[in-house]
Structure 1
């Protein structure tokens, strides 16, 4: 789907506030409500807008610690990688999982209440996944920027 400037304004507005009512959104992007609604529906149907979510404050829901875990597997064959990725999908503590090119095989973003909870997760879940050779944990000192918004 080719995005024009009106589509981009719609996307920027919805990324700022996904609860905007169509009338408010239309006013913000300088359209009448009916064409605005049609454009939003087309963006949804094309998969440009995947879903609407609430962004939570991690600390206020008891998950204030973020850890980046670098994971090395015993092998990079399809069966080992597939087993690992399927296991990771079932772990709610893992917010992001990326297959990497470079030093490690996977990079995970994990949340926990504190270091004890993360250590428990690492010992009892992450390192028990068949095929995991080692895990190195990186703990950020300060969050500088975290945004769910894409530049459009």
Structure 2
């Protein structure tokens, strides 16, 4: 009798182990499918990042008022760079505030980064072309150092 009990105990132990092995195999299969899906996602994101159309800057339509200006974007950028008094941040330690980067972001706005070598700020300016081809700027928003 003891021998039969030992035999059935060993047999049920094997069944439990088989169940554990089956559950682990299912978990491994599930994780393998998830890893495969993640690899496909990474590959598609890398392909998207490498595509040319994402690296092209947006084209800004400047409207009829700019029709007589050969390069409206450069005209706007240079006009802002000449108006340093628009910088809403005072220079420190004897520096001189200057516009370092100016980017036309729409037919109405430019983003400008300025500094004096010590402190830096960013502003969005609204612009409007005047009849004499001068450009008027109005500060819309600024991020200044704390």
TM-score (ref. length: structure 2):
0.30
Larger helix share, 1 or 2 = 2
Q: Which structure would you say has the larger RCO, counting Cα contacts within 8 Å and 6 or more residues apart?
A: 1
Greater gyration radius: 2
